[in-house]
Amino acid sequence: MKHDFTGKTVAITGGGSGIGKLSCQRFAEAGAKVAVIDINGTTAKQTAEEITKAGFTASAFQADITDENAVIETFKAIHDCFGSIDVLFNQAGISPMGTLETTSYEDLKKVFAIDTFSVFLTCKYVLPYMKQQGGGTIINTIGTYAFRYVQNKLGYCSSKAAALSITKSVAVDYARDHIRCNAICPGYVDTPLNKDVPADRRDRYLDRIQPMDYLIKAEDIAQTALYLASDASYAITGQAIVVDGGTEATLIYTSPNQ
């Protein structure tokens, strides 16, 4: 389905890489004015430049979205630049390994800062703009691991579960303000976030854990975001849309190759 975001402003965190970068491109191609937010100013600028070179509209905003003042200032700058903020798509995140023993308190605070508190901060400070303009849509990128846990991922699973909880609270609290808030929960996606995953481990996952015989792409997540941000999904709020090739749905998967 072709979605039209002409005249809308879409702010995307983590827009300098992976799913965030491709999503910036897809929203811009669909007519949106795209605010590319990333802690890495160079990659954010690259994304915005590639979009404008292709004839679409984007601007880069360098910001650490775990910094409250930076979040406030960034949304003000986006609003000053484009005149509205209609969609917030939270992509920025990290995915550290660790058990209870190998995760320090500092490690845990870091993953919560990026994967949970940034969701709180960005939702909190985009809200006044959305309320003032009579509505908006927020999409938070969570992950299957928020509700189906795996070994050695204590900080990541717990921080994503908390971010999903924030998503649902925001949806319930602001439904009457015409603000929708949903989560996309990807499985394993082929992006720079997974650059250190050895190929044999990835192939084992695809063969033995994920029912679909398919390497999920950033495109699959971007297309889901376009749908969730559009009026085609107008009655959907407070939901976690799982895009994981069936992994969450299965308890034990027996591959034909086993």
- Distance of closest approach, residue 167 Cβ to ligand NAD, in angstroms: 13
Residue 155 in contact with ligand NAD, rule: CB under 6 A: no
Count Cβ atoms within 10 A of the Cβ of residue 211 and give its class: 0-12 exposed, 13-18 middle, 19 or more buried.
Answer: middle
Which range touches ligand NAD (CB under 6 A), out of 2-10, 11-19, 171-179, 230-238? 11-19
Q: Among residues 25, 74, 91, 103, which is the contact residue for ligand NAD, using CB under 6 A?
A: 91
Q: How many residues touch ligand NAD (CB under 6 A)? A: 29
Q: Among residues 188, 240, 241, 248, which is the contact residue for ligand NAD, using CB under 6 A?
A: 188
Residue 38 in contact with ligand NAD, rule: CB under 6 A: yes
Active site residue 129: no
Interacting residues of 241 by C-beta distance below 8 A, sequence separation 6+: 182, 183, 184, 185, 224, 228
Q: Helices (H), strands (E): how many in the chain?
A: 8, 7
107: nearest Cα among 119, 95, 124, 120: 95
Residue 74 in contact with ligand NAD, rule: CB under 6 A: no
The residue (of 94 and 108) whose beta carbon lies closer to ligand NAD is: 94
Q: Let me know: does 222 contact 22? Beta carbons within 8 Å.
A: yes
Q: Which parts of 49-68 interact with ligand NAD (CB under 6 A)? A: 64-66
Q: Let me know: does 85 contact 75? Beta carbons within 8 Å.
A: yes
CA-to-CA dists, residue 156 to 24, 92, 227, 253, angstroms:
25, 13, 26, 23
Residue 93 in contact with ligand NAD, rule: CB under 6 A: yes
Residue 96 in contact with ligand NAD, rule: CB under 6 A: no
- Distance of closest approach, residue 153 Cβ to ligand NAD, in angstroms: 11
Pairwise CA distance, residues 221 & 38, whole Å: 18
Residues belonging to the active site: 156
